[in-house]
């Protein structure tokens, strides 16, 4: 194993942004057909499943203990839950509500420029960089205090002598 920390393709590179495709879809919800929005959720879900399979396969390859199946299950379930909340559920809901709040304000505005349909989309898109890291950290903390505490599993802890990402 390398002395340096391994780079996690799905969490430490630009691939991570595929998980936020649904946020872009939510930002455009007022301008595009619903099928486009749902397609953005399909893309994010594909990313989540790819990371889940990747993490499980990694554990499967290195774990030779009798608990291999359990460890693969813990790794994949931890990844699936974390990614579902950090990539799809919380950010999608957040952008949806930001855009809805802007649209609510637009209906009450008397300024013509603020009534343009693309204003909520721009605000939604501009919000994405500000919400992603706080959401990731909040989900990490929530996982540490709930699921990981309950199962005793943590993805960064040594398991079968190997550090997992």
**Span 127-143, pLDDT tens digits:** 999 999 999 999 999 99
Q: Is the dihedral of CA 162, 46, 130, 78 positive or negative?
A: negative
Q: Quick: pLDDT tens for 45-80.
A: 999 999 999 999 999 999 888 999 999 999 999 999
Residue with token string 């774990």? 63
Confidence of residue 23 (pLDDT cuts 50, 70, 90): very high
Mark 112-124 as b/e (b = at least 16 C-beta within 10 Å).
eeeeeeebbbebb
Q: Domain boundaries in the chain?
A: 9-151
What does pTM read for this prediction?
A: 0.86
Query: What pLDDT, on a 0 to 100 scale, did the predictor assign at position 156?
Result: 80
């Amino acid at each position: 194993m390398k002395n340096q920390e391994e780079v996690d393709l799905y969490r430490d590179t630009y691939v991570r942004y595929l998980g936020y495709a649904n946020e872009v879809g939510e930002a455009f919800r007022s301008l595009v057909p619903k099928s486009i929005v749902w397609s953005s959720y399909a893309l994010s879900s594909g990313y989540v499943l790819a990371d889940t399979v990747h993490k499980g396969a990694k554990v499967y390859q290195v774990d030779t203990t009798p608990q291999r199946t359990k460890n693969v299950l813990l790794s994949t379930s931890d990844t699936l839950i974390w990614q579902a909340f950090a990539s799809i559920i919380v950010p999608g809901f957040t952008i949806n509500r930001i855009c809805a709040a802007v649209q609510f304000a637009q209906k009450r505005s008397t300024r013509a420029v603020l009534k343009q349909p693309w204003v909520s989309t721009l605000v939604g898109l501009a919000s994405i960089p500000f919400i992603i890291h706080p959401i990731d950290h909040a989900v990490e903390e929530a996982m540490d205090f709930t699921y990981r505490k309950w199962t005793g599993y943590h993805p960064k802890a040594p398991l079968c002598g190997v550090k997992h990402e």
